[in-house]
Amino acid sequence: MRISLFVTCLADTLFPQVGKATVTLLERLGHQVEFPAAQACCGQMHVNTGYQREALPLIRRYVKVFSGADAVVVPSGSCAGSVRHQHAMVARRLGDEALARQAAAVAARTWELSELLTDVLGVEDVGAYYPHRVTYHPTCHSLRVLGVGDRPLRLLRQVDGLALVELPESVACCGFGGTFAVKNADTSIAMLADKMRHVLSTGAEVCTAGDSSCLMHIGGGLSRLRAGVRTVHLAEILASTRAGTGGLR
């Protein structure tokens, strides 16, 4: 299958290993991955902070860049959620009905990584090897906007060597919330403190999730505490094999 990668502005700029892992994984599964270089950002930060007018050109760009794609993969639950839940809504609110219709059409072919693997490509065992103790944080937008359910867990359970430990209170928000983490830094940190407490209680070496943003938040807190637990995106785990991580890390 020909799959277009929307890498997200965050992974592109700060976590390129997530994009590389997505490419490595999908190509290993026999698919052709394209990266349209004209892509930039889904506009979620703008929409969620109240700047819909500023989000509109970003939505227009996303629609234009991916309108010809058979399938778009996004290694982020919240960015995929923004494409599916916000793009048409914002276009309609700002009076661009034609864009709203096109956005809805592109959104219908946009998949978060675990959705693409399990629903579109029909695979749960991706042939990965990752000999570590791992706990999974289901990010809010993966869980409640997209409804990915246990898809990431089904994928993780098939990973050779991986010991999956359940995260207590897993469905509680980590406190990131985009600009919430800065505007309401104290409340955000209080939420993060509880999330970290639960992560540490599992004894896991690695905390994984399907969103680089939430992982940046949890990982930033764990790093500040020198907690000795690292955050790794789901794509990186699924891309790893006995042959190594493909030089990703």
Binding site for another protein (CB under 8 A): 7, 9, 11-20, 23, 35, 37-41, 43, 45-55, 57-58, 61, 86, 89, 93, 140-141, 143-145, 171-173, 175-192, 216-217, 219-221, 223-224
Residue 232 corresponds to which tokens in the numbers above? 């790794």
Name the residue nearer to another protein (CB basis): 27 or 124: 27
Nearest distance from C-beta of residue 208 to another protein, angstroms: 16
Nearest distance from C-beta of residue 103 to another protein, angstroms: 16
CA atoms within 13 A on the CB side of 185: 2
Nearest distance from C-beta of residue 126 to another protein, angstroms: 21
Nearest distance from C-beta of residue 34 to another protein, angstroms: 9
Nearest distance from C-beta of residue 152 to another protein, angstroms: 17
Name the residue nearer to another protein (CB basis): 85 or 109: 85
Nearest distance from C-beta of residue 182 to another protein, angstroms: 4
Name the residue nearer to another protein (CB basis): 123 or 171: 171
Cβ-count burial 189-220 (b if 16+ within 10 Å, e if not): eebbeebbebbbebebebbbbbbbbbbbbbbe
Name the residue nearer to another protein (CB basis): 128 or 235: 235
Nearest distance from C-beta of residue 9 to another protein, angstroms: 6
Name the residue nearer to another protein (CB basis): 18 or 106: 18
Residue 30 corresponds to which tokens in the numbers above? 């026999």
Name the residue nearer to another protein (CB basis): 61 or 133: 61
Name the residue nearer to another protein (CB basis): 69 or 159: 69
